[in-house]
Amino acid sequence: MKQTLPKLVDVARIAGVSTATVSRVLNDPSVVSESTRNAVLEAVKKTGYRVNRAARNLRTNTSKTILALVPNISNPFFSNILSGLERELSAADYNLLLSDSGDGPMTTEQIQGFVAAGHADGLIVLDGSIALSDLEDTQAVFPNCPIVFVCEWVHGFKGHSVRSDNAGGIRVLVDHLWELGHRRFGHLAGPSSNILSHERREAFEARLSELKGEVRPDWIVQCDFSIAGGLSAAEVVKDLKDGPTAWICASDQLAFGLISGLTRAGQRVPLEISVTGFDNIEMAEVFNPPLTTIHQHRNKLGHKAARCLLDQIAQTSDTSDGDVHTLPVFLVARESTGPVFQA
Amino acid sequence: MKQTLPKLVDVARIAGVSTATVSRVLNDPSVVSESTRNAVLEAVKKTGYRVNRAARNLRTNTSKTILALVPNISNPFFSNILSGLERELSAADYNLLLSDSGDGPMTTEQIQGFVAAGHADGLIVLDGSIALSDLEDTQAVFPNCPIVFVCEWVHGFKGHSVRSDNAGGIRVLVDHLWELGHRRFGHLAGPSSNILSHERREAFEARLSELKGEVRPDWIVQCDFSIAGGLSAAEVVKDLKDGPTAWICASDQLAFGLISGLTRAGQRVPLEISVTGFDNIEMAEVFNPPLTTIHQHRNKLGHKAARCLLDQIAQTSDTSDGDVHTLPVFLVARESTGPVFQA
DNA sequence: GACCCTTCTGTAATCGATTACATGTCCTCC
DNA sequence: GGAGGACATGTAATCGATTACAGAAGGGTC
């Protein structure tokens, strides 16, 4: 019953050639004459031969595998990026190995363990909480294993990085609300450890300053990026006297939580308070009220990162250090924002 | 610069033993005397040695890798299951290889290509649209590669399968609405090709019949599982004269779409129409109105499937065919359902 | 005809681990 | 003292592909 799989040598025997020739037909067909090539291909078909990846990997010292480090796979935002990644990689005949970095940042040990274990040809990192030194150690030990960041990134890291125009998005949101007459702005920021939180918060403060608006530190609330974060922020925020008339949230999920909490507390969005999100996840359109937010091209982020990594693998020259690819974003104005409330 | 990685033979030289002994220390420490074991471990530490997986895989004919076939990675419902999977697998020192089966069911060729390519030790399938014959072919060619279905499944397939109690969930929903006084029920079903659609639809009809309720085929609308599906169903449904007072949707996303569409059309949920979902995704709690739905333990589904697969890999005896593990679900009653409308 | 080039194919070493088998040592027991 | 067993370790074959190198065959030029 346990019929062993056909091997290269079986194909060679049937085709009446050497293993070297079979291998050449598979890897570089042009160097083999047409007649032998056809004979070999026929033998391949007849035997149903498939290359043993382990053997090839051992010999060529590659794995045709890319490892993705994700802080939390179950986050729908990441899954969209993975989808883009997977599509691009599988088109290039690469496999996608997935690893959830779980709670807390990963250590050098873990990263290198993963690389060595999966023998990955490259790393896609969606987790900006990794220490710079760990990354540099990894690069030192595996100089031929390029690392590309998507969405998040790490300051000072020399390597490619693909991200959305976070600051631009926030700026557009502030402007949108400003034009609607809002002057008192609040911000639900992401966790302080997160680079996107910083980026968005800074952009928020900067744009507000440019417009000569008031930046009130007590109107900047730090939460995690989840719905629950938004809900608990609402508890704090709902009782503010003369509080913000507009809240800019660092993610759609935060915005959902906030709106939900405010609504329960009897406040009307957008009539009394305007709220914006960031990401434009699918839900934003059907939420009640439909959410004004910033659209990120998540699939494209994944695509681009994959391309970027594959390019680096292809060209052995690693001269290209530190390109930052920033993808544009755009405002999707829906009904969670409106003119400032006239009592 | 390109310092080659330390190999087994390097460790052996430094520890003053043979490669066989080093290998034994790494794989079955108990057979080696304590003194040599310590010497070897020290040498391992000193060199920073890590086993070359490709070599090991080649020699042992295993890969310590599980391949997950997912219909659509970007679906947040799946990503939660993946998360459970990943956690369990990585705890057992297995890798998770991800493959998006994309549009349309996969062919034998593709499946086997993936198995052979990734040289997976096992398969987790979340896609019920694969043909039975393709699965059986795969089992014939790779008898040592167990296949476990999660969430979805394929009729007639001999093998383990982990799923939620879909019928039970629907039954509870019908009863819940029945008790609220509803007698005219509609159902937004998933795509006809999907096994869950069937299961849930049949349970819907069965329970309604048991209660001596009326099953109206024209009140059963087929959509895909997406938000967009619910929105377009709303277009059809909103103009029904004396239509259902309660809609049971085959997924939360459908319910969101439906509620959103109905609300836009001026109908009030739950005052005039009650709507239920299925899944209890995070969003259900903060949706407006909060969604009455069935909670599925998605993480647990992933966990269980992984355990199930690992168990099969561990025991070489493949006597165990066809266990179905059904996980319980429960009703989460929120505000999208209410007593039947009295005009 | 001699020489060289091009084109195609075969031989055999190699990647880095695992493991069957052989060997050696030491201990126990009759 | 010798047989037998338990335990620890080493030797070398092996997994299945890739590829450097060598060799053969054919063709063109002087």
Confidence class of residue A255 from pLDDT cuts 50, 70 and 90? very high
Which of B70, B95, B291 is most worth mutating to test chain A (most A CB atoms within 10 A of its CB)? B95
For B16-32, what is the mean pLDDT? Answer: 94
The whole-number pLDDT of residue B3 equals 57
Cβ-contact A255, A277 below 8 angstroms: yes
The predicted structure's pLDDT at residue B338: 96
Residue scoring higher pLDDT (B272 or B134): B272
pLDDT of residue B99: 87
Closest approach of chain B CAs to the CA of A278, in angstroms? 16
B110 interface with A at CB cutoff 8 Å: no
Q: pLDDT-based confidence at A32, cuts 50/70/90? A: very high
Instruction: Please determine, for residue A261, whether its predicted confidence score (pLDDT) is greater than 70.
Output: yes
Q: Decide: B115 and B123 in contact? Cβ < 8 Å.
A: yes
Q: Which helix (H) or strand (E) holds B249?
A: strand B246-249
Lowest mean pLDDT among A35-49, A69-83, B55-69: A69-83
> pLDDT class for A321, splitting at 50, 70, 90?
low
What domains are defined for chain B? Answer: 8-51 (1.10.260.40), 63-164+298-327 (3.40.50.2300), 166-296 (3.40.50.2300)
pLDDT at B2: 45
Mean pLDDT score, A166-193: 96
**Measured between CB atoms, does B2 come within 8 Å of chain A?**
yes
What pLDDT is stored for residue B26 in this prediction? 94
- Residue A2: pLDDT band (50, 70, 90) is very low
Our measurement of CA A6 to C1' D15, in angstroms, reads 14
Distance CA B98, CA A167 (A): 33
In single-letter form, the type of residue at position A273 comes to I
Residue A324 pLDDT > 90 = yes
Structure tokens at B291: 């969604």
Higher pLDDT, A219 or A137: A219
Cβ contact A295:A301 at 8 Å = no
Which chain A residues have a beta carbon less than 8 Å from that of B97? 65, 95-98
pLDDT at site A112: 77
Residues 10-69/B with CB < 7 A to strand D: 16-21, 24, 31-33, 35-37, 55, 58-59, 61
In chain A, which among 279-308 make CB contacts under 8 A with chain B? 282-283, 285-288, 299
* Between B215 and A318, residue with greater pLDDT: B215
Closest nucleotide relative to residue B21's CA, C1' based: D9
Across the range A309-330, mean pLDDT stands at 81
Q: How far apart are CA A271 and CA A269, in angstroms?
A: 5
Which three-class secondary structure state does DSSP give residue B288? coil
Closest among B293, B260, B259, B289 to B276, alpha carbons compared: B293
Determine contact: B343 vs chain A, CB below 8 A. Answer: no
Half-sphere CA count of A286, side-chain side, radius 13 A? 27
Over range A19-43, report the average pLDDT: 94
Cβ atoms of A99 and A67 within 8 Å: the answer is: yes
Q: A-B interface: how many C-beta pairs under 8 angstroms?
A: 164
The reply to whether residue B53 touches residue A116, judged by beta carbons under 8 angstroms, is: yes
Q: Would you call the peptide bond into B290 cis, given omega within 30 degrees of 0 as the criterion?
A: no
Which pLDDT band, with edges at 50, 70 and 90, does A104 fall under?
Answer: low
**A44 Cβ within 7 A of any nucleic strand D atom:** no
On whether the CB atoms of residues B187 and B220 are closer than 8 A, the answer is yes
Average pLDDT over residues A27-40: 93
Least Cα distance to B185 among B169, B209, B164 occurs for B209
Q: What is the pTM of this model?
A: 0.88
- Percent of chain A residues past pLDDT 90, beyond the cut: 68
Give the pLDDT score at B282.
85
What's CA A110's distance to the chain center, in Å?
20
Pairing, β B122-125 against β B65-70: parallel
Q: Using CA of residue B283, residue B288, residue B290, residue B293, what is the dihedral sign?
A: negative
Please report residues of A whose CB lies closer than 8 A to that of B58.
52, 54-55, 57-58
The answer to whether A79 contacts B83, with C-beta atoms less than 8 Å apart, is no
Q: What is the pLDDT of residue B339?
A: 96
State pLDDT tens for residues B57-79: 999 998 888 999 988 887 778 88
Nearest nt (C1') from A18 Cα = C10
Higher-confidence residue of B103 and B201: namely B201
Q: Which residue is nearest to nucleotide C18 (CA to C1')?
A: B59
- pLDDT value at A186 more than 90: yes
Provide Rg for chain A, Cα atoms. Answer: 26
Is A54 in contact with B119 (Cβ distance < 8 A)?
yes
B60 touches chain A (CB under 8 A): no
Alpha helices in chain A (DSSP H): 8-15, 19-27, 34-47, 53-60, 76-91, 108-118, 132-141, 166-179, 195-210, 227-237, 252-264, 283-286, 298-314
Q: What pLDDT is attached to residue A206? A: 97
Distance from CA of B74 to the nearest CA of A (A): 4
Least confidently predicted of A113-122, A142-151, B19-28, B299-308: A113-122
Which bases of strand D sit closer than 7 A to a protein CB?
7-12, 14-20
Name the residue in chain A with its Cα closest to that of B90. Answer: A99
Cβ distance of A118 and B82 shorter than 8 Å: no
pLDDT on residue A103: 64
Where do the DSSP E strands lie in B133-234? Answer: 147-150, 161-164, 185-189, 220-222
Q: How many CA atoms lie within 13 A of B342 on its CB side?
A: 3
Which range has the worst mean pLDDT, A118-132, A314-328, B192-206? A314-328
pLDDT digits (tens, 9 = 90+) for B119-152: 789 999 999 888 898 888 888 888 888 999 999 9
Q: What is the pLDDT of residues A154-169, one digit of tens each?
A: 999 988 999 999 999 9
Residue that is written with structure tokens 């994944």 in the block: A302
Determine the residue type at A29: P
Residue B37: phi and psi, rounded to 5, are: -55, -45
Who has greater pLDDT, B156 or B141?
Answer: B156
- Res. A41 pLDDT band, cuts 50 70 90: very high
Return mean pLDDT, chain B.
Answer: 90
